[in-house]
Amino acid sequence: MTHPAQPKASHFINGAYVEDTAGTPIPVIYAATGEQIATVYAATPTIVEQALSTAKAAQKEWAKMTGTERGRILRRAADIMRDRNHDLSVLETYDTGKPLQETLVADATSGADALEYFGGLAASLTGEHIPLGEDWVYTKREALGLCVGIGAWNYPTQIACWKGAPALACGNSMVFKPSETTPLCALKVAEILIEAGAPAGIFNVVQGMGEVGGALVTDPRVDKVSLTGSVPTGKKVYAAAAAGMKHVTMELGGKSPLIIFDDADIDNAVGGAINGNFYSSGQVCSNGTRVFVQKGIKEKFLARLAERTGNAILGDPMDEATSFGPMVTENQMNIVLGYIEKGKEEGARVICGGARADMDGYYIQPTVFADVTDEMTIAREEIFGPVMSVLDFETEEEVVARANDTEFGLSAGVFTKDFTRAHRVIGNLEAGSCFINSYNDAPVEAPFGGVKASGVGRENSKEAIKHFSQVKSVYVRMGDVEAAF
């Protein structure tokens, strides 16, 4: 019997599901059981061509609609997503393995927020009038054209919406390639947009591995590439986009610092560290995986952290009581277990967890290492799993320097009751998305993105509009033209 997660076909192009079984089969594995629940096929060159030519052709008419009309469609799509939140959340859980307890509140809902927010902004996109005596310049905010979105596997619905909603609001069309690990959810976003009244062809989904992503990025018809993925992939995609002088947004990896001063409310700081390391089983790019704790409160902090981490409920992700799910794939589980072994070998102290959980599926126990030092592998490399490194520090100056000593710069957080210090420390940290007495909030109203190797550009907020549009400037002369000859 066909599993309910099996999509009607692999791709969604020009308003309809499209199949081409000549592509490489991609099995979809449910991480909680290891069972294959669906198959999709990687896009063949024919499918890639269909998606790009359709999106190119559809864009001009879409951009000619008023912002109010485009916005209405996006907001209608947001309403449909909210109405179907339960079914979409179940699908997200099948796609990723994340517990339903999370997906019910974090995935289709945040996708709907993006559709609603950018739907609301669509009608407000205007230019400027710049008076120059009797002459003037006016500017127009125009679409870039055809945009490509490429997603990672941790938030397949959210990533499709975070890219699709601002792109469409600005009058662009999009070809979106989900991660080959989680190909299911973006198809539903495409389907819902059509149902909401979007013209066929403005949001298309094609499946495939890096090769398909590469074919999209290098196509001369493409004007912009927005990638969510790892730093090594980001470097390749950025270089390929640069060769064609395309616009880019790069949302990449991190190894973010979370700094806890000894005056902090311990329970809030522990809560921040848990949210910043164990949500989605640690598969979150902005996680604060280097938790710097001031020496005076170290043991108290570790004791409370171990106690609360012990309350995590590992189990069937479809059971709403489960608060901690598996790694997305067996491969990702093995990568994370490799880092845990490295942490032990290099002398870090295991406070809790430290092994695979004794159950079916790709579960790893939430793991906390203490006595971690700056040069240890677990303190330097992005693990993308439930592994928290706790490091000690004494002074503010020292911790800021150590926190910044990384190639990454996605996020940073500070817990303290001293507000002057909080703002000063955040001001000195090299990171794009920061938190004071909180961690990992990502409302659509706030810009999201990294500095240094963690990325280029920003998603969400009014900032995203700048990255999906460009300004045309028009000089208007009222008098005669003077020329030298």
95 binds ligand NAD (CB under 6 A): no
Site for ligand NAD in 345-384 (CB under 6 A): 382, 384
Q: Which range of residues in 7-15, 100-108, 196-204, 250-258 is near ligand NAD by CB under 6 A? A: 250-258
285 binds ligand NAD (CB under 6 A): yes
- Of 93 and 154, nearer to ligand NAD (C-beta) is 154
Per DSSP (E only), the strands in 276-432 are 290-294, 349-352, 367-370, 387-393, 411-415
251 is catalytic: yes
Locus of tokens 């209405």: 72
Measured CA to CA, the distance from residue 128 to residue 472 in angstroms comes to 10
- Of 316 and 382, nearer to ligand NAD (C-beta) is 382
The amino acid at 117: Y
Report the residue from 10, 85, 173, 233 that binds ligand NAD according to the rule CB under 6 A.
233
468 binds ligand NAD (CB under 6 A): no
Measured CA to CA, the distance from residue 313 to residue 320 in angstroms comes to 10
252 HSE (CA, 13 A, CB side) = 25
The amino acid at 416: T
Q: Which range of residues in 42-50, 99-107, 247-255, 288-296 is near ligand NAD by CB under 6 A? A: 247-255
SS3 call for 437: coil
Task: Please state the closest distance from residue 299 (CB atom) to ligand NAD, in A.
Answer: 31
Query: Pattern of binders to ligand NAD over 134-163, x per CB under 6 A?
Result: ----------------xxxxx---------
- Of 65 and 335, nearer to ligand NAD (C-beta) is 335
214 binds ligand NAD (CB under 6 A): yes
Site for ligand NAD in 415-454 (CB under 6 A): 450
Handedness of CA 223, 243, 186, 10 (dihedral sign): positive
From the list 251, 255, 298, 396, the catalytic residue is 251
Residue 9 DSSP one-character state: S
339 binds ligand NAD (CB under 6 A): no
φ, ψ of residue 441 in degrees (nearest 5): -70, 140
From the list 147, 170, 285, 352, the catalytic residue is 285
Number of residues that bind ligand NAD (CB under 6 A): 29
Task: Please state the closest distance from residue 382 (CB atom) to ligand NAD, in A.
Answer: 5
385 binds ligand NAD (CB under 6 A): no
Locus of tokens 């880092």: 339
β-strand 367-370 against 349-352: which pairing, if any?
antiparallel
238 binds ligand NAD (CB under 6 A): no
SS3 call for 39: strand
Report the residue from 228, 256, 294, 322 that binds ligand NAD according to the rule CB under 6 A.
228
Q: How far apart are the first and last CA of the chain?
A: 81
The angle formed by the CA atoms of residues 32, 350 and 381, to the nearest 5 degrees, is 70
Report the residue from 120, 210, 271, 447 that binds ligand NAD according to the rule CB under 6 A.
210
* CA-wise closest residue to 316 among 106, 101, 99: 99
Kindly tell me the burial class for residue 485, based on how many C-beta atoms sit within 10 Å of its own C-beta (0-12, 13-18, 19 or more): exposed
Report the residue from 73, 125, 252, 305 that binds ligand NAD according to the rule CB under 6 A.
252
Task: Please state the closest distance from residue 306 (CB atom) to ligand NAD, in A.
Answer: 26
From residue 92, how far is each of 324, 349, 471 by CA, in Å?
15, 35, 37
19 is catalytic: no
For ligand NAD, the nearest residue by Cβ is 213
- Of 326 and 450, nearer to ligand NAD (C-beta) is 450
β-strand 367-370 against 257-260: which pairing, if any?
unpaired
Measured CA to CA, the distance from residue 403 to residue 207 in angstroms comes to 38
φ, ψ of residue 281 in degrees (nearest 5): 50, 35
SS3 call for 142: strand
Task: Please state the closest distance from residue 433 (CB atom) to ligand NAD, in A.
Answer: 9
Q: Which range of residues in 41-49, 52-60, 233-241, 398-406 is near ligand NAD by CB under 6 A? A: 233-241
* CA-wise closest residue to 290 among 404, 398, 397: 404
- Of 209 and 436, nearer to ligand NAD (C-beta) is 209
Measured CA to CA, the distance from residue 269 to residue 439 in angstroms comes to 9
The amino acid at 211: E
462 is catalytic: no
From the list 56, 98, 163, 177, the catalytic residue is 163
Report the residue from 217, 258, 264, 336 that binds ligand NAD according to the rule CB under 6 A.
217
- Of 354 and 449, nearer to ligand NAD (C-beta) is 449
Point out the residues that are catalytic.
163, 251, 285, 459
Which residues of the chain form contacts with ligand NAD (CB under 6 A)? 150-154, 177, 179-180, 209-210, 213-214, 217, 228-230, 233, 236-237, 251-254, 285, 382, 384, 410, 450, 455
